[in-house]
Structures are given as C-alpha cells and as structure tokens.
Structure 1
C-alpha cells in the first residue's frame, strides 16, 4: 500500500479508532501501514446471528499490539474514562455502528471524524449503500466528516464517489468501498493532524435520512413495479441477508433476478422455464433462487417441483 509523507512531529500524535466491518479494517490497516500512532481500538463483539463476511478489526489491532475495547458508548462512564486517559489528538470512526456521545468526541484535541458510506448530505443514517440501491441510484461513495451530536450532520472534510452499475448488487459495490475510504483518509490525514483540512457545511435542504435495515425488510412486495422489486433483490443480495417471498408455504429466497416483459396479478407465476413472476408493473425473472435451508445445488429444482403456472407468490401463497 502506498504511503503519504509525514513529519516526525505529526507521527507522534495519538489516534483513537472506533471501527468495525470491512471499511473499518481497511482504514485501520492504512493508518498502521503509514506508521500512525493508534492508541486503542474500540470495536464490537461479533453478533452470533450475523454472517461475518468482513475482516476483523479486533484481530488486526491485537496482532499489532494495540489495546482493544468492546465496551459500547452507551456505557458512557467507562468509555469516556478510557478515552480521557488515552488523551487522543484525533478520534476516527470507521463504520462503527453506535453513536459516540458528544462528551467523548470533545476529548480529541484536533477533533473527531467519521467515515460515512454515502455522499452526504444524502443518505444519512444506517445502511446507506443498501438504501441507495433500493432507490435506484447510480452513484454512492464515502464521506469523511466532523462528528457532532446529530448523526452524519457535521461539516464535510472530503468525499469520494463510487459508481453503482445498473445490475450490480450491494455486495459488488461494497467490495469497492474500502479502497475509496482508504484513498480518502490518506488524502486528508496530514491536513487533519495539522489542523488545515478543509471543512464544508452540509446543505441541510438536500439531506435525506434512512434507518436501520433488518433481515425481514427483504420481504418482496409484488405490488411494486418490476424495477422496484429488482432493486430490492440486488440491494440485499449476499453477503447481505437476501430478498424473499412465500411460495408453496415456504420461504423462497431470491438472490439474483432481472426485469422482464409481461404482466399479470402481482405475484403470479407467469412461466416456470424461465421462472417469471408478475409485479405491479412488468415482471421479474428469477435467476438464482431456492427455498430457505435447501442445499444450493438443488435449490431451484426443489422450488420448480412445487410451483405451477398461475400460482400467486407472497403472503397469500
């Protein structure tokens, strides 16, 4: 990984990192590769019910001898005491999943900065990449901004755009996000440490906000247009939990699809080969699908054996 020049004085400045997920790992790794003085990592315990498709920030930090803490900011006294004792010059949050109280942010002499997964002020909040694809956007990105009391509302330091192809899934786009985040942090780290980084006030009139997404939010509503259904399927495709509907009394997972011609009652099976389902407007051809829990090699065959032309998928199935 290419590194940026830095002064010996700047190298002494201490950084506390709050990080998780692939972007968190990539940004922490970039700081360490550059020789930055990372004082500690605050991260999350891995959830047992969540697929761990990303690298471990905790493992990286421990391998480099950096203290790792998993206490959450809601336990404000503990985290505040730890950060105060570390006396950081900078605080970074790289895809950390919890809000950090303002009193903790103020402990960083040169400020606290967050790497957010959208081009702010659009798509503030949680799961910004998934929401962007659901809404049919052709671009997303990462924004480095000042952390303030309100989520994702602080001044923008810099941003880096990432294109979303018309058929790309969230997983495919997500694979390019870490490199964009690393380019961004390396571009601005010296300015942040010198107190000379640019700051731009967000245009609140352009702000949009979206909340957390849960696996159940992947349920397909066949009353929506074919394009909307298609966007949902690619927005939650693996490594995310996936889109689903009801078929033959079972949960049918849909991992890949495309917009097709035709129409009928929403959720109606128009044909079996290919498997084409009517939406509220247009139709969706299912390309990769299977009943939940079925071996993937036999998934489509098991579904087709139980479906008939004219069946209605969804809650009534």
Structure 2
C-alpha cells in the first residue's frame, strides 16, 4: 500500500525570481516544488501584437499567491529598494529579457543565477537556440551559471545537453532546451540550497556573443547552399517569423523544408520549380531543397495548389 507524500512546505531559503516564457514557468515550478520561499516574481507584460505560444509565468505566480511586478526597467532605485527589502538568499533568472545591473546583483546573499539556453561558453547572448540551428550545430542545451555584470560570463554550476536533429525547427529544439533547463535546475538546486554546489569558470576564448534577430533577418540569400538555407528556414520557422524571398514580384514565405541532395548544381542562380511531387529549389551554392509549408502573396499555399499557382516553369531566385 502506497502512503501519500506530504507537500513541501516553504524552506528558509528565500528567492526573488526574474522569469518569462516556458523556461520561466518550468524552472519556477522546480523552485516551488522544492519548497523555496519565492518572495517576488519579476516578469514581463506580453507585448502587443506578439504571438503568445508559450506559458505564462504571471499566471503560475498568481496560482501560488506570489506577488508579481512587471517593471519596464528592474534597475530603477525604487525596484532595487523593493527587492532589497525582501532580503533574498538567491536571485534566479529564467528567460528574463532585461539585464540586471550591479546594484541588483549585489543584493542576494548567496548569489544570482541564470539559466541560459545553450552549452556555455558557446552561444552567449541573445536567441541562442536560433543561432545554434543557423550554424548547423548538432547539439545545444541549458546551462545554470552565476550572473555577473558581463552577460553569460559567470561560473557554471551545471548544464545538460540535448540533440539537434537535422530537420528540427527552433520550436522543436526550444522544447528540448526547456526540459533540459528543468532537469538542470532540479539536479543542482539541493546543492545550492545546502551550500555544497560546485562551480567552474568559463573559458571565454571559446564561443562568442550573438545579438538578437529581427524579421528582416529572415530574407534568404540564394547564393548559399541548400544546407545553409535549410538551417535558416528551420531556425526561424513558426512560431518565429519565418524566412522569405520574392517570386514574380510577390513575397514567398518558406516555412518548412528538407535537403533532398547536396550535389553541386550547374546553376549560376538558384532555381525554383514545382512538379507533381512538390516544389523544389536547386540552390546556386549546391544542393536541392524540397519545400513544404509555403505562403505566397500573404496566403498559405496547400500542396494541391502548387502547380495551379506556380506552374511547371522554372523561376530564378535572387
């Protein structure tokens, strides 16, 4: 006969949590499950016009009766004073978008920790999952590290790797990284709480910093190879903005693809064409792409419509 395990009660370990997105929800859940006293959650208002495809940290905090604030800048004197008055042992940052400056980072008695979506020291900075796919990496992961004023540069406490398969989109990989973040924090948290967690410095000569990406960065350079273009397509596939090009003066969005061969083509420019089996591009940089999810002139195109809309003629892509 199984006996019920009592729910955790709050411990004497107090934390302030800066969090957003699915990683924020799952990692905050780990802290709550462990009984950490989360005194305050700092999160973001969802931006008007954004596609909200992820869970809400604010809703999770509300279910647990945790006070929540959404400052435009957490580094103002008023917010710093509010947080300092809580006397937290730890800060935890889980997919929070804004930088925490020195006055904030000096508050927690036992340190400030961040969960980063790569295997540090590689892919420091913004949107690490997307950049890893663009560069054709075969693995990435989640890293728990101490925060310093220089972003993503502090000592590493723990990290977990996940594979990137050759046709994985950023959404696929982000879901894996979310699981990796939860596993990493769950494994490291007991040692952080009892003061036995080890850490190691990063070799910052490895990897590098990457900036954010904007929708216009999805324009395809058709001089590249099929593999390079495929990596961009899957790196920004929905729910991200997607890649695009121009065909006969109208915008063509390419949302899903696969490389069907990597042979060098005898084409000075990339060539788009359709037949009874689908739509393809012979890429000027070598190889052929098969295209699956398309939008043309602002409307989704079903596979049954390919020949009706595009015909069997070849179209040059610049």
- TM-score normalised by length of structure 2: 0.90
Who is 2:151 aligned against?
Answer: 151
Ranges in structure 1 where 5+ consecutive residues have no aligned partner: none
Deviation at 1:290, TM superposition (A): 1.6
Who is 1:52 aligned against?
Answer: 52
- Map 1:168-179 onto structure 2 (within 5 A): 168-179=168-179
SS at match of 1:17: strand
Who is 1:229 aligned against?
Answer: 229
Which deviates more from structure 2 when the two are superposed, residues 268-277 or residues 60-69? Answer: 268-277
Who is 1:216 aligned against?
Answer: 216
Deviation at 1:37, TM superposition (A): 0.7
Question: For residues 106 and 251 of structure 2, what CA distance do their matches in structure 1 show?
Answer: 48
- Map 1:7-46 onto structure 2 (within 5 A): 11-46=11-46
Deviation at 1:73, TM superposition (A): 3.4
Poorly superposed stretches of 4+, deviation over 3 Å: 5-8, 72-75, 270-273, 296-300
Who is 1:200 aligned against?
Answer: 200
Deviation at 1:206, TM superposition (A): 1.0
> Which of 281, 300, 305 pairs up with 2:286?
281
Who is 1:133 aligned against?
Answer: 133
> Which of 257, 266, 270 pairs up with 1:267?
270
- TM-score normalised by length of structure 1: 0.90
Question: For residues 308 and 292 of structure 1, what CA distance do their matches in structure 2 show?
Answer: 19
Aligned length: 309
Ranges in structure 2 where 5+ consecutive residues have no aligned partner: 1-5
Question: For residues 60 and 307 of structure 2, what CA distance do their matches in structure 1 show?
Answer: 42
Which deviates more from structure 2 when the two are superposed, residues 264-273 or residues 232-241? Answer: 264-273
Residues 1:239 and 2:239 aligned together:
yes
Who is 1:183 aligned against?
Answer: 183
SS at match of 2:173: helix
Tell me if the contact between 1:16 and 1:88 (Cα under 8 Å) persists in the aligned partners: yes
SS at match of 1:176: helix
Tell me if the contact between 1:16 and 1:40 (Cα under 8 Å) persists in the aligned partners: yes
SS at match of 2:205: helix
Write out per-residue CA displacement over residues 222-247 of structure 1, whole angstroms, 9 at most, x where no aligned residue: 11111100000111112211111112
Residues 1:312 and 2:294 aligned together:
no
Question: For residues 44 and 60 of structure 1, what CA distance do their matches in structure 2 show?
Answer: 13
Question: For residues 301 and 310 of structure 2, what CA distance do their matches in structure 1 show?
Answer: 17
SS at match of 2:144: strand
Question: For residues 303 and 241 of structure 2, what CA distance do their matches in structure 1 show?
Answer: 17
Write out per-residue CA displacement over residues 260-298 of structure 1, whole angstroms, 9 at most, x where no aligned residue: 34632433224444311122222222122122531x464
Write out per-residue CA displacement over residues 43-86 of structure 1, whole angstroms, 9 at most, x where no aligned residue: 11111222111000011101211111100336521321121111
Question: For residues 109 and 288 of structure 2, what CA distance do their matches in structure 1 show?
Answer: 56
Who is 1:257 aligned against?
Answer: 257
Deviation at 1:186, TM superposition (A): 1.3
SS at match of 2:292: strand
Tell me if the contact between 2:87 and 2:107 (Cα under 8 Å) persists in the aligned partners: yes
Cα gap change, 1:115 to 1:142, in 2 (>3 Å): same
Question: For residues 99 and 275 of structure 2, what CA distance do their matches in structure 1 show?
Answer: 48
Cα RMSD after superposing both structures: 2.3
Cα gap change, 1:189 to 1:253, in 2 (>3 Å): same
Question: For residues 134 and 52 of structure 1, what CA distance do their matches in structure 2 show?
Answer: 23
